[in-house]
Structure 1
Amino acid sequence: MLISLTSSLPCSTRARLSVPPGLSAIREIGRSIAVCERALSSSVVREAAEHVASGPAVILARGTAEDVRRLITPEMTENSEALLSDAAGLVSLYQRLTGLDAVRFRLERVMGDSCRRFHIDNVGLRLLCAYIGPGVQWTSDKGETIQEAATGSVVLLKGRRWPGWSEESAVLHRSPPLSALPVEQRVRLLLTIDEPDACGMSADQPLVVTV
């Protein structure tokens, strides 16, 4: 049976010693999604907008939270401290949830209808957070009911490589179709965190930047 949870608790990445209960529940058998709603600070919102306006289209990095921060800092726009701290905090949170020493980090500007079809990722556990624009959409009934995460929410989704994963408890997800939105809203800044080797990421090339 699918059990999904939206936590009403604040999901602060400043509290690095614990994982919010709404997210730690993702470890439970039969639970395929966990969502922690939170409000982004005005500094994070402002810096995210600046990144969308003048930052790279994609930043890919591999390593610990400290490695990721060191690698991506030179690629960020000026005065990105709040955004960097929040993203690094989500890396640390993901590491605590999974016990992994390193992660694959992807910060991407999305301006089109990417991944429009509902699907399941070939990863263990994926963390998603939209700093700008709508969050991920998901369904547990083949699209008859579609839910969407709010901007800033932290979403955890189990993929096919999660130990014990099964079709019975699967949740399908997709990127929200931006073409259905007003022109001025057709942009997202999306953070994705996975296990370090996901999607072909290699330790031999720990940083990839697309302008």
Structure 2
Amino acid sequence: MRQACPTRQRFAVPVPFQNIDRPDCAIAQEPRLLNQDLSQAAATWITRGPDLFLSRGTIEILETELRQIMPADTQPLLDDTLALARRYRCLSDTAEIRFRLEKISHDSCRCFHIDNVPLRLLCTYTGPGVQWKHAENDTIHETPAGWLTLLKGRLHPGWSADTAILHRSPPLSGLGTPLTRLLLTLDHPDACGMSPRQPAATGR
């Protein structure tokens, strides 16, 4: 059983996310609408922010690194991503987090798959969100922008193929109008071979 997180009272876990502790639950989602300030901040990041910010660290380290590269007028986005990072820290019971904020304008991870991580939190700020389906069902569910998605990976304690959820990035090549997604991915610090403390990766 996880120990109580010192910030749990402030960052309460909504009912949908509580279900992730159940052995038969491999995905939990929280519907939400982005307010105008947050939507505008995300649009500004799309225009002026780096294509990729990738780092591993405590919330305090991540905040310091993000402030060094964030464009003006994106404070609401910074506040929201860090609030989600704090919630993920409580859910995963890890001191450090692998934090990835990325612009995506191409087809990425088109195949349905299961991640080799314990627990992954996804939030798409602009564009369509993650698509997912049950392993034994062909019905594809698409997540609206702003929604929070929590997924169990193969490394989650007690993970079972019987209740597996497969997911993928939504294909963009078939859309009539080009668009860019802004995707936040929060993971266990060792996810995807992330090495202990290294300079944050950024790119245009």
Aligned to 1:73: 67
Distance 1:143 1:178, change over 3 A: farther
Partner of 1:86: 80
Cα deviation code 1:155-181 (max 9, x no counterpart): 000000001111111000000011122
The residue that corresponds to 1:105 in the other structure is 99
- Work out whether 1:56 is the aligned partner of 2:50: yes
CA distance in 2, matches of 1:134, 1:65: 27
Residue 42 of structure 1 aligns with which residue? 36
Residue 132 of structure 1 is matched in structure 2 by 126
1:206 is displaced (CA, Å) by 4.3
Find the aligned partners of 1:181 and 1:150 in 2 and give their Cα distance. Answer: 16
Alignment map for 1:1-211 (pairs within 5 Å): 16-141=10-135, 144-184=138-178, 186-211=179-204
Aligned-pair distance for 1:125? 0.3
CA distance in 2, matches of 1:206, 1:171: 33
User: Aligned partners of 1:183 and 1:112: how far apart in 2?
Assistant: 12
Shift of 1:204: 3.2
Gaps of 5+ in 1: 1-14
Unaligned runs of 5+ in 2: 1-8
Offset, 1:203: 2.2
Counterpart of 1:3?
none
**TM-score, normalised with respect to structure 2:** 0.92
Does 92-101 or 64-73 show the bigger shift? 64-73
1:101-132 C-alpha deviation (Å, 9 max, x unpaired): 11000000000011000000000000000000
Percent identity over paired residues = 45
CA root-mean-square deviation = 1.3
Provide Cα deviations, 1:39-62, integer angstroms capped at 9, x if missing partner: 111111111111111211110021
Instruction: Say if 1:16 and 1:89, in contact at 8 Å, map to a contact too.
Output: no
Distance in 2 (alpha carbons) for counterparts of 1:156 and 1:172: 12
How many pairs are equivalent?
Answer: 196
Q: Is the 8 A contact 2:44 2:73 kept in 1?
A: no
